[in-house]
Structure 1
Amino acid sequence: MSYADTALPVRLDREAGTPLAVQLADALREAAASGHLRGGDRLPSTRALADRLGVSRTVTSAAYEQLHAEGWIAGRHGSGTYVTTPPTRAAASVSPSGPPLADAEIAPMLDLSPGTPWAAGLDRAAWRRAWRAAADPEPLIRAHRAGLPEYRATVSEHLLRHRGLAAGSVLATGGTTAAVVELAAAVLRRGAVVAFEEPGYQRAVQAFRQAGLTVVGVPVDEQGLRPDAIPAGARAVYCSPAHQYPMGSRMSAARRVELVERARADGLLVIEDDYDGELRFDVAPLPLLAALAPDVVVHLGTTSKILTPTLGAGWLVAPSEVVRAVLAYRDLTGTRPSPAGQRVLVELARHGDLGRHLRKLRRELAERRTLLSEALSSAAVPILGDDAGAHLVVLFESAEDETNRIAAAERHGIRLDGLARHFAGTPTAHGVALGYAGCSREALVTALPTLVSLLR
């Protein structure tokens, strides 16, 4: 017996030997390849489609997961699931029942998502030398709960030299999100209110929520997070003052002072995510919040944006009571950051390769930003964001405009990051955050005419 969906070209045969989830994925894939479904078409939710087909939600969820992995559909936070374009012409010509294409057969899209590092700019000889040197010490018998002493010393020197922070207690972390997980579990009590930039870094939002905390959005503007909008009774506030993610503003000096004064008056813990903090190439950076108020600020940094996520290494600088709580949590749970990436960073710094890479990175990103901003400005496309970091923002008039332009870009082989997914609540701004670090400069230059046309 077959079941047909009235809106989608789907027929499922319960008597066939092929699993229903595979049948559903095949049918939707064929519909997208044949043009019955087009890029930008919204699909029903897994629950709604399951009800209409008379199957369990497990079937529809498995089919959607497979199509998402293959690049046929994409989910947008708070908006739904949409059809993208077929990954390649070759993919569209494959029989639905045939084997999936290998990754090497699928032409990669030009990914202009923010938060991606310029890993291709790493000196490969220095990279290999650092890994070899990192393997020279004897294997550890037990991990250091605070991080390797030499790594913590390296981070302290890095923060002083590149961020102007005379760090006291430095802890190694597995990265920004890993540090947020530890802070949520070790320092903040379940049910506590955390004020958060809206829009902001949604992985951190989810980390707080998973720990049983209540996240309340605080609006940002051209001067960064608004301290006056932090709700009364909040226990902590999370912000990215150096280069707000994703809107790109820099918190003004007056706002920084206001936030610190509010934190001290109300007993707030300020969590400073130093996103893109090292990547200033216009003017000297403003003082870190941790430098202004080390008694109420937790400073978070990572190697993922300046080097590569391969290292899985970050750091936390915090008041002594926060450090003690995190260390106690690590003892209790047996969790510690991996020392391998820490050793590699130590070796990169020891030979001066870290400093050389940062200087090269700043020059490269400054030139890329100029290329992108001049091309957009010449087409009268307004841009937002401080003249720093590795992304800028272009606003659109509506959510529909954002959805349509992202879909159009995908049809041209360009992946754009919409602002909608960066909101924990209802989006109040629509547009895209354009990252220009992860791709090659040649690919960026080649794509500029198409990109400008799409955003005009």
Structure 2
Amino acid sequence: MELPPLLLDRAAARPLAVQLAEGLRAATADGTLRAGDRLPSTRALAAALGVSRTVTAAAYEQLLAEGWVQGRRGAGTFVVDAPGRVVAAPGPPPRRAPAPALIDLSAGRPCVAALDRAAWRRAWRAAADPPADQEPDPVGVPAFRAAVVEHLLRHRGLPADPADLLATAGSTGAIAELARTLPAGSRVAAEEPGYQRAVAALRAAGLTVVPVPVDGEGLVVDALPAGLAAVYCTPAHQYPLGARLSAARRVALVERARADGFWVMEDDYDGEMRYDVAPLPLLAALGRDVVVHLGTCSKLLTPTLGAGWMVAPPGVRRAVLDQRERTGLRPPPAGQRVFAGLAAHGDLSRHVRRLRRELAARRQAAVAAVTGAGHRPIGDAAGAHVVVRLADGRAERAVREAAAARGVALDGLARHHVHRPGVAGVVLGYAGPSGPDLDRALAVVGEVLSGR
């Protein structure tokens, strides 16, 4: 076996054999060497340490006499459980048990409880069937791209061709890739309040983020300034306020993109989840020439897969692929293969239907808790969170602190702003907790919102 470092000081007064015995004894006492470990022969250890065999033999004899090691005829010398383990000196008094974890109602967490465990295991087994890749495909696993095309057509009404689609490492990873295709210093508009990880990815690429307000109809297209290279938005379910970009504004945004020469990043992070009416057509369906459609497995299934997709105009696809070729960065194929395995036998479509039913019921419970406390949630009947507007930042902090004191972590709107918060409130994510935890958390939400 490989021994721990054994330091011998040839200038010290203590004999080398004593130093060696002390080092081996300490390694046995602290668990670095364990019962049953075979020590090197005295000859091999002497050669490794650059000492005479007399030194190592004397050290082993001392340890044998003390009972730290045991010799077995024809097999070697082995570590045993020492008769008198060194007892550590008393340390500081034990710390108090940590407080129990809060029930987290943050937005953006997936509902993993809706996953069919049998289908999940089946998909992973299918993913392991193909031989190992020598290197990831820069475009994406063909079966994954075919599965995404079918998913987009069935659940998002977007006809696409596998040749139009690139695999990604999720929405934020795709935004980072797209950002690096733009010249440093380019101006990119983003919703305010909005998805701050997207903002961080844009800024990390050296881009200038221009916050643009949102209202009850989504992004205010008329507020877009001139000189933009791109616009990032969440039109199906604005994050975090929950509005749906109106049909008129969708048309206006596409027309503005064509007129001003910028392209639009459409983040469809939870577009499959609607509980009232059919979603409006995707921006990509209205403007394939100027819209980059982004999807992710993180909210639909789990971040474990680390997979997403991009449907983009030819020029954007070429720029992304050129960048992947230069940097060697590729979306990892394992999660893509699992997604394809889920889709192969209908498990993915069954999961989407099950998830819609589960989240619709959870949303109904969340809305009931909010309205029962005298508040009215804002946003469409979609996705996996609801928003409760509050008077100001002080009220937002008070509600969050009161909930935390009762074991519930609430997300506030303040952190979703680039500039000084213009709207206050809490975001209630209802997908992540287990059913019983969600029931307990919503009872607390009702209490703190009603001031009890």
TM range (shorter): 0.7 to 0.9
Aligned to 2:239: 245
Aligned to 2:379: 385
Aligned to 1:175: 170
Supply the distance in 2 between the matched residues of 1:448 and 1:141 (Cα, whole angstroms). 49
Q: Which amino acid aligns with 1:319?
A: P
The equivalences for 1:12-51 within 5 A come to: none
The CA deviation at 1:260 is 0.7
Query: For residues 193 and 100 of structure 1, do their structure 2 counterparts lie closer, same or farther at Cα, with a shift above 3 Å needed?
Result: farther
Aligned to 1:155: 148
Aligned to 2:74: none
Aligned to 1:114: 107
Query: For residues 160 and 375 of structure 1, do their structure 2 counterparts lie closer, same or farther at Cα, with a shift above 3 Å needed?
Result: same
Supply the distance in 2 between the matched residues of 1:195 and 1:396 (Cα, whole angstroms). 26
Q: Which amino acid aligns with 1:256?
A: R
Aligned to 2:24: none
Tell whether 2:119 aligns with 1:137. Answer: no
Supply the distance in 1 between the matched residues of 2:200 and 2:306 (Cα, whole angstroms). 19
Aligned to 1:318: 312
The CA deviation at 1:449 is 2.6
Aligned to 2:180: 185
Supply the distance in 2 between the matched residues of 1:98 and 1:175 (Cα, whole angstroms). 46
The CA deviation at 1:448 is 2.5
Aligned to 2:157: 164
Aligned to 1:13: none
Supply the distance in 1 between the matched residues of 2:140 and 2:168 (Cα, whole angstroms). 8
Query: For residues 455 and 151 of structure 1, do their structure 2 counterparts lie closer, same or farther at Cα, with a shift above 3 Å needed?
Result: same
Supply the distance in 1 between the matched residues of 2:187 and 2:176 (Cα, whole angstroms). 15
The CA deviation at 1:446 is 2.5
Supply the distance in 1 between the matched residues of 2:232 and 2:361 (Cα, whole angstroms). 31
Partner secondary structure for residue 138 of structure 2: coil
The equivalences for 1:186-265 within 5 A come to: 186=181, 188-265=182-259
Supply the distance in 2 between the matched residues of 1:374 and 1:362 (Cα, whole angstroms). 18
- Write the deviation string for residues 208-230 of structure 1: whole angstroms up to 9, x where unpaired: 11111100100000000011001
**What runs of 5+ residues in structure 1 fail to find an aligned partner?**
1-95
The CA deviation at 1:193 is 0.4
Conserved 8 A contact 1:245-1:275: no
Supply the distance in 1 between the matched residues of 2:307 and 2:93 (Cα, whole angstroms). 41
Partner secondary structure for residue 284 of structure 1: coil
The CA deviation at 1:97 is 5.4
- Write the deviation string for residues 129-178 of structure 1: whole angstroms up to 9, x where unpaired: 11111111100112100111111111111111110111241000000110
The CA deviation at 1:396 is 1.1
- Write the deviation string for residues 179-223 of structure 1: whole angstroms up to 9, x where unpaired: 01100112x111110011001111110111111110010000000
Query: For residues 97 and 185 of structure 1, do their structure 2 counterparts lie closer, same or farther at Cα, with a shift above 3 Å needed?
Result: farther
- Write the deviation string for residues 393-436 of structure 1: whole angstroms up to 9, x where unpaired: 00111111111211111110000000010001110001111100
Supply the distance in 2 between the matched residues of 1:99 and 1:427 (Cα, whole angstroms). 43
Query: For residues 106 and 344 of structure 1, do their structure 2 counterparts lie closer, same or farther at Cα, with a shift above 3 Å needed?
Result: farther
Q: Which amino acid aligns with 2:124?
A: W
Partner secondary structure for residue 427 of structure 1: coil
Conserved 8 A contact 2:274-2:382: yes
Supply the distance in 2 between the matched residues of 1:99 and 1:320 (Cα, whole angstroms). 62
Supply the distance in 2 between the matched residues of 1:397 and 1:314 (Cα, whole angstroms). 37
Conserved 8 A contact 1:244-1:275: no
Cα RMSD for the two superposed structures? 1.6
Conserved 8 A contact 2:188-2:229: yes
Conserved 8 A contact 2:366-2:386: no
Q: Which amino acid aligns with 1:179?
A: A
TM-score of the aligned structures, taking structure 1 as reference length? 0.77
Tell whether 2:119 aligns with 1:126. Answer: yes
Q: Which amino acid aligns with 2:354?
A: K
In structure 2, which of residues 422, 438, 448 is the aligned counterpart of residue 444 of structure 1? 438
Supply the distance in 1 between the matched residues of 2:93 and 2:168 (Cα, whole angstroms). 44
Identity of aligned residues (%): 60
Query: For residues 99 and 341 of structure 1, do their structure 2 counterparts lie closer, same or farther at Cα, with a shift above 3 Å needed?
Result: farther
Aligned to 1:402: 396
Aligned to 2:352: 358
Partner secondary structure for residue 340 of structure 2: helix
Partner secondary structure for residue 194 of structure 1: strand
Query: For residues 255 and 367 of structure 1, do their structure 2 counterparts lie closer, same or farther at Cα, with a shift above 3 Å needed?
Result: same
The CA deviation at 1:99 is 6.7
Supply the distance in 2 between the matched residues of 1:353 and 1:268 (Cα, whole angstroms). 38
Query: For residues 144 and 397 of structure 1, do their structure 2 counterparts lie closer, same or farther at Cα, with a shift above 3 Å needed?
Result: same
Tell whether 2:284 aligns with 1:290. Answer: yes
Aligned to 1:339: 333
Aligned to 1:375: 369
- Write the deviation string for residues 276-333 of structure 1: whole angstroms up to 9, x where unpaired: 1010121111000001100000000000001000000000000000000000000000
The CA deviation at 1:98 is 5.7
The CA deviation at 1:440 is 1.6
- Write the deviation string for residues 44-83 of structure 1: whole angstroms up to 9, x where unpaired: xxxxxxxxxxxxxxxxxxxxxxxxxxxxxxxxxxxxxxxx
Supply the distance in 1 between the matched residues of 2:93 and 2:175 (Cα, whole angstroms). 43
Q: Which amino acid aligns with 1:115?
A: G
Supply the distance in 2 between the matched residues of 1:122 and 1:107 (Cα, whole angstroms). 26
Aligned to 1:11: none
Tell whether 2:294 aligns with 1:300. Answer: yes
Partner secondary structure for residue 219 of structure 1: strand
Aligned to 1:277: 271
Aligned to 1:41: none
Q: Which amino acid aligns with 1:236?
A: A
Which runs of at least 4 in structure 1 moved beyond 3 Å after TM superposition? Answer: 96-102
Supply the distance in 2 between the matched residues of 1:297 and 1:381 (Cα, whole angstroms). 37
Conserved 8 A contact 1:298-1:317: yes
